[in-house]
Each structure stands twice: as structure tokens, then as C-alpha cells.
């Protein structure tokens, strides 16, 4: 049995992790495993922002790495594979169409939501009204996208 210096409880030796040292034999740590793990949890929670930042950076770096690989593969194929350029353009066109339809779907739902709030309870906005509001939202979205692209 060993007394944990953190919680003060007497616990079995198996409840303590080993501390490894270069100069001497491994010895049991002074804090029990459960105290250590709650310490670790606190450490992560207290440094949440730094922790998230590291994760973001890690993701960003690997993302950039794969994007670069893909660009390289693509340019090689563009040089060597006849018809690949057309295939790529077709893929891009499809992707854009999917993106657009998603954007439209999201904004139609938003338009309906806005309009419902303006109407007396239980009243549904007319399809024409939803259409007008949706195209307004799409326009605003496109403007903000253009602004973003221009920095």
C-alpha cells in the first residue's frame, strides 16, 4: 500500500504509475493514477484554446500536405493523360452544381423561417414570397462570397 500525496488516500501499488528515470530504477509516482488523470484533464481544460489551436494547426498542415500532393498528381496527369482536362472540368462543373443546389436548399429553408416569423402564427408564406426571399438571400450570399474572394 502507498499513500497518494494528492488525495491522501492509501491505495494498492497497482493504482500508481511508474516513473522512469535514466539514472535510477523505475519508481512509483507519488500521485495515484486517478489523481494524475484528473490533473491531465484539468491541464487540457485550462489550456483549451492552446490545445485547439495545436489541433487546428496539425489539421491545417496535413491538409496542405495532401492538397499539394493532389495538385502535383493532377498536373502530372494533365501533362500525360489525353482527355484528363475535360474530365476534370466536368468533375468541377458537377461539384459546383451540387454546391449550388445545397446553397439554394439552405437558403430556401432560411427564407421560409424568416417569413414565418413575420407572419401571424400558423400562417404559411406563399411560394412566391419564399422564392423572392430566397433569391434575396442568394444574392446577399453571392455578394459576401465575392467580397471574401477579393479579400
| CA angle in degrees (0–180, nearest 5) for 134-145-53 | 120
Q: Can you tell me the distance from the alpha carbon of 123 to that of 82, in angstroms, rounded to the nearest whole number?
A: 58
Q: How far is the CB of 18 from Zn ion (least distance, A)?
A: 16
Distances from the Cα of 21 to the Cα of 24, 25, 29, 37, 108, angstroms? 6, 7, 11, 20, 64
Q: Which is nearer to Zn ion, 14 or 150 (CB)?
A: 14
Q: Which is nearer to Zn ion, 39 or 62 (CB)?
A: 39
Q: How far is the CB of 45 from Zn ion (least distance, A)?
A: 18
Judged by the rule CB under 5 A, the positions of this chain that interact with Zn ion are 4, 6-7, 32, 35
Question: What are the grid coordinates assigned to 30, written together?
Answer: 507519488
Question: What are the grid coordinates assigned to 28, written together?
Answer: 512509483
Q: Which is nearer to Zn ion, 5 or 91 (CB)?
A: 5
Q: How far is the CB of 19 from Zn ion (least distance, A)?
A: 15
Amino acid at each position: 500500500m502507498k499513500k497518494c500525496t494528492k488525495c491522501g488516500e492509501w491505495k494498492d501499488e497497482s493504482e500508481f504509475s511508474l516513473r522512469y528515470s535514466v539514472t535510477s530504477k523505475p519508481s512509483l509516482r507519488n500521485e495515484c493514477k486517478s489523481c494524475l488523470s484528473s490533473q491531465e484533464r484539468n491541464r487540457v481544460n485550462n489550456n483549451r484554446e492552446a490545445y485547439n489551436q495545436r489541433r487546428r494547426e496539425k489539421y491545417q498542415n496535413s491538409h496542405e500536405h495532401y492538397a499539394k500532393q493532389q495538385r502535383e498528381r493532377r498536373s502530372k496527369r494533365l501533362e500525360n493523360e489525353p482527355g484528363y482536362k475535360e474530365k476534370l472540368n466536368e468533375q468541377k462543373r458537377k461539384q459546383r452544381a451540387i454546391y449550388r443546389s445545397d446553397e439554394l436548399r439552405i437558403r430556401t429553408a432560411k427564407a421560409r423561417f424568416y417569413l414565418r416569423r413575420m407572419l401571424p402564427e400558423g400562417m404559411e408564406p406563399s411560394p412566391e414570397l419564399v422564392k423572392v426571399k430566397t433569391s434575396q438571400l442568394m444574392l446577399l450570399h453571392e455578394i459576401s462570397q465575392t467580397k471574401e474572394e477579393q479579400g
